[in-house]
Structure 1
């Protein structure tokens, strides 16, 4: 509202109107583009003042989920059934190819990549809370973020921002973000017969909280539109 009622915005809109000739409405266009509607999976990580941790990944899975709305509640149900192998050996919407073990059956729960994770120290105290949306890339995003912290000693910002690598069995390709693999490593992997595909903006939106003594250090993945807040 503040932006739409500002003098700056008014001047920008006024500049699209000619005082001497009719201006096509198509030329004027929208004043500001709204955000694209997500498909969409989301994740949030929470740690309270007492050290209680919550990590939740929730999804409608794909556009408008199952397209069934809960009467008078205003939300749609997901179509997570797509995570079953509806036709074993055929890829689902995320390109995952699965077999008979994940075929649809009564009373059965489908496989899911969703990986909300709480990491604790050997003494049981909280170390880290993480999770992400991202379909088939969820598992690799969560693993690499945890490894960046525990194995490589990165701070929370670097651990989340670091370029990622992804492989999901089929298609038989290694995806990597720019600077995710150095040219020498790429050449070595290609010489071994691997197929590598560079992909900008690897799917993922890691939401991470690290416990550092009395401090909680949080960071939201810049690849999407999340935010880290504390109060």
Structure 2
């Protein structure tokens, strides 16, 4: 199957449920398109900005396929795309892939990380033992994207998009810089002093919060 000009998709002719799932979301880029839509509707170019290796033609094909399969829907009034309930149901799949990928050798965090990808990875990589019983609110901003993370006493981290961020602290930077702040060894204050990220609000609360995440877990 070629990346462009394809008229038919390569399908798995099996009754296996896993094969059926791959027929829906197994094409290259398809699951990452879902990833970029996980928290909010996005316009075509906003989706593409989170997938710098994809061409406009391939993204168009993937969106058409996901719409036909009932995973994505088009919002003509907004000029945007959004996930259906079926699409949102892929969140545990993305989280499981994050946890599996963290254990598999060869991950290179210097490669591009979209802000949405980071938010999903944080929901997967939070230490449930350390997080359980705590309540926290954290803000993140990357370009035009704003996110609020809410940690409940159940140890589950929930993410929502927000234009105005009200939180004890806000970390700002591109996806890779924010990932370095969350998962790296350098203190938040040092990264802010070096201009790697921007920090507003309570630096101690920010440091305590990022201490809940560990890629080596």
Structure index of larger Rg: 1
TM over 0.5: no
TM-score by length of 1: 0.25
TM-score by length of 2: 0.27
More helix by share: 2
